[in-house]
Structure 1
Amino acid sequence: MAYRVEPGLYRDVAKFGGGDITACMNCGNCTAVCSQSQDAGGFPRRMIHLLQVGHSGKLAGSLEPWLCYYCGECSDTCPREANPAETMMAARRYLTGVYDWTGLGKKFYTSPAWEVGAIALVGLFIVCLFALFHGPVLTDHVELNTFAPVEWVEIGDWILGGILATLLLSNGWRMFHWVMGSRKAVDVPFSLYLRKLPAFFEHFATQKKWRECEGPNTRWLKHFLLVTGYVTMMVLVIVFLRWFQTDEIVPFYHPARLFGYYATAALLYVTVDFLVGRLKKRDAIHKYSEPTDWVFLVLLFLVALTGILVHVFRLAGLPLATYSTYVVHMAIVVPMLVVEVPFGKWGHMFYRPFAAYLAAVKQGAAEADAQRTKRAA
């Protein structure tokens, strides 16, 4: 495969954040201290080299940015203060824009006005929908499913889920094309893709490679809580909405309530912890923040907060407070999903385990090639 050299590539990636790669002298210290480099190769050193020489094609086809878990040790030990960890983060944002065929990912990552404007526009659209099509407003008692019929909300959930899945999977196909395009289709049999598929689900559920990084394991645990809290809430809302959004006061031990409380507690705890960490800037992972990082965390916090407030107001028998907070909640949830899942920060929840899966496929193909060569010899 031929690659086009773009001398200004590092400036393009710098628009997504990152360190000063012009300060890097390729000493290799970052690779030496990285616990992940033994599996993925010489990163982050190799990524910085690709940026310096302008290999945009190789960068687009690289899995290494997704296999970095941003422990920050490479930046802490860099003798030139080139901040390679933040460069890897910028490369992930850049690649999100490369995979996205709509071009919106790049817009949202490089322009806070575009991201905030899109969120506000979608949120306003949701408010207008409720203003025009809500059901009867009963004020003598709470009937949320009369104000917002669960059947209609459920249909909206499935339509939105289908759109998001289409966007994310189509972007994933583009990622696959970039990564595996250098190998002929015959080199990787379909059976190998099937055999390695469990790697995707394993890394999606556990992010186990993060535990190999230096630093306290609480980072892995907090990320695990964040992901499981978010996924739990998504499953409750999309799959079990009829049991989750109900006017019946179910017992505390009801599964819908218990899982909802877990998701809310996990999201509130982790988002507050991450926001405070970014304010105090004590850890390497929080020292540098782009506007997209703040927007994502604030949205996720507000989703959890407004969701639990709807529940509290409903239990307290406050009709108007319940209905109005529900509209605000939906006006935050939908924009967060529309903007952050296929185009923004939350896309890495798919891209990172997908990268681990493709890395396993490539390794399996390389091992098969080596065996064929050995037999031929």
Structure 2
Amino acid sequence: MAFRDAALRYGRGNWKAQQGRLLQLYAQGGATVSVRVDPGLHREIHSFGGHDVELCMNCGNCTAVCPLSEESGTSFPRRIIHLLQVGRADKLAQTADPWLCYYCGECSESCPRNANPGETMMATRRYLTARYDWTGLAGLFYKSAAAEIMALVLVGLFVVALFLVFHGPVVTSHVELNRFAPVRWVEFGDLVMAAVLTFFLLTNASRMAWNFMGGSQLLKISPLVYLQQIPTFLVHFFTQKRWRRCGSERSKRRWLTHLVLVSGYLSMLTLVLVLLRWFQTDEIHPFYHPQRLWGYYATGALLYATVDFMISRWRKAEPIHRFSEASDWIFLIMLFLTALTGIIMHAARIAGLPVATYVTYVIHLAVAVPMLVVEVPFGKWAHLFYRPLAIYLKSVKEAAATRAREAPAAAVEA
């Protein structure tokens, strides 16, 4: 603790001296190259959960033990910690390195200073998510659990209010869910919500791409290169396969559980956004019907994975779950409650309990809609999109560089 306090005092009291030395490093041939630094960046990272940045002395041990450092092609994760310490927020936004980390925990477990570089990388991803977001809501929600919970509650109350005003006939003699909540209107609401969330997510992602690709430089790359690398994005979005290269059996098990969670989430999203008219029906199909089996799989996957992750976070048994922010818990709890209320509503419908079905249906949507509205563009969910996007943009950069090197040789041969 004494080391930590000393590092904090040094970071706060001697920043100007650090900044001056940084500028002298860039002096060549008598000329000084100015660089933009953010003296408060290390304190900003504190608010996103990176509490031990100042403890790192750049020994390089984390890079030596990281299974992905050689593949990443940089001194990873040491370089990111260095950028945080010297306040290079601009450089931080231009690198994919924070998104290439899957938090296997090898670096944190072997750090001689207990600087927890794995958690610093996690905090950096939260910081970047907030930086990409032009609304400012992501930063607000990450820094204030009360604000995030309030947003979830307000959206949930809005959903309840919609049903109180616009619900259909309440048939109590038997279950008629599609009269109480006409599927065409629910489907319309789903599509509107999907369009709004896609707008926020893609506009934030465009800010990420603009920073990462060097601003207008992204327009100088052939559209063909972007198209050729799309499979890279899709593979990493659906599989997160680089996680398996972290090496340890523990990491591979975590990857598999995460894959189950993503498959359950995407299954449920497909059922309610694309196949809602097939999925929300008053007809009770046999247990073995694809509609029910697919829904059971999605629910089981979400419940299993969220409970597993919550238990691990509670026990703090693994490095990836040793430190938890409020946003981590809120995301898992909302996913768990979405799946739980959905299966309870389904059980009430199968049992022929009309009032219970209608009430739990409203409760289910009052949980699921806020989870999507708040978490997809502004919360924990966003990393599912930003990570494969970073890998995709990195591959675009590398492919464009390769084409640029090969072009002169091809011209000479011609």
Is TM more than 0.5 here? yes
User: How far apart in 1 are the matches of 2:409 and 2:39?
Assistant: 40
- Deviations along 1:124-152, one digit per CA (max 9) or x if unpaired, are 11111111111111111111111111111
Aligned with residue 178 of structure 2, among 145, 162, 169: 145
Q: Give the match's secondary structure for 1:184.
A: helix
Distance change in 2, residues 1:169/1:322 (3 Å): same
Is residue 2:370 matched to residue 1:335?
yes
- The offset of 1:62, in angstroms, is 1.6
User: How far apart in 2 are the matches of 1:338 and 1:236?
Assistant: 18
Q: Is the 8 A contact 1:313 1:319 kept in 2?
A: yes
Aligned with residue 314 of structure 2, among 272, 276, 279: 279
Q: Which amino acid aligns with 1:307?
A: G
Matches within 5 A, 1:221-236: 221-236=256-271
Which runs of structure 1 show a deviation greater than 3 angstroms over 4 or more consecutive aligned residues?
Answer: 369-377
Matches within 5 A, 1:226-375: 226-372=261-407
Q: Is the 8 A contact 1:3 1:57 kept in 2?
A: no
Q: Which amino acid aligns with 1:160?
A: M
Q: Give the match's secondary structure for 2:396.
A: helix
Q: Which amino acid aligns with 1:144?
A: L
1:131 paired residue number: 164
Q: Which runs of 5+ in 2 are unaligned?
A: 1-32
Q: Is the 8 A contact 1:123 1:335 kept in 2?
A: yes
Q: Is the 8 A contact 2:229 2:395 kept in 1?
A: yes
1:190 paired residue number: 223
User: How far apart in 1 are the matches of 2:62 and 2:132?
Assistant: 27
- The offset of 1:183, in angstroms, is 6.9
User: How far apart in 2 are the matches of 1:182 and 1:339?
Assistant: 28
User: How far apart in 2 are the matches of 1:372 and 1:47?
Assistant: 33
Q: Which amino acid aligns with 1:21?
A: V
User: How far apart in 2 are the matches of 1:210 and 1:65?
Assistant: 14
User: How far apart in 2 are the matches of 1:176 and 1:373?
Assistant: 28
1:12 paired residue number: 44
Q: Is the 8 A contact 1:97 1:103 kept in 2?
A: yes
Aligned with residue 46 of structure 1, among 60, 64, 79: 79
Q: Is the 8 A contact 2:132 2:207 kept in 1?
A: yes
By relative contact order (CA 8 Å, sep 6+), the higher-ranking structure is 1
Q: Which amino acid aligns with 2:106?
A: E
User: How far apart in 1 are the matches of 2:363 and 2:225?
Assistant: 47
- The offset of 1:359, in angstroms, is 1.0
How many pairs align?
377
Is residue 2:122 matched to residue 1:89?
yes
- Deviations along 1:29-78, one digit per CA (max 9) or x if unpaired, are 00111111112211110000000000011111221111100101100000
Q: Which amino acid aligns with 2:293?
A: L
Q: Is the 8 A contact 2:109 2:319 kept in 1?
A: yes
User: How far apart in 2 are the matches of 1:48 and 1:150?
Assistant: 51
Larger-gyration structure (1/2)? 2
Q: TM-score, normalised by structure 1?
A: 0.97
Moved more, 125-134 or 292-301: 125-134
2:3 paired residue number: none
Q: Is the 8 A contact 2:98 2:124 kept in 1?
A: yes
User: How far apart in 2 are the matches of 1:185 and 1:225?
Assistant: 35
User: How far apart in 1 are the matches of 2:36 and 2:132?
Assistant: 18
- The offset of 1:320, in angstroms, is 1.1
Distance change in 2, residues 1:3/1:177 (3 Å): farther
Q: Give the match's secondary structure for 1:138.
A: coil
User: How far apart in 1 are the matches of 2:195 and 2:238?
Assistant: 22
Q: Which runs of 5+ in 1 are unaligned?
A: none
Matches within 5 A, 1:184-223: 184-185=217-218, 187-216=220-249, 217-223=252-258
Identical columns (%): 59
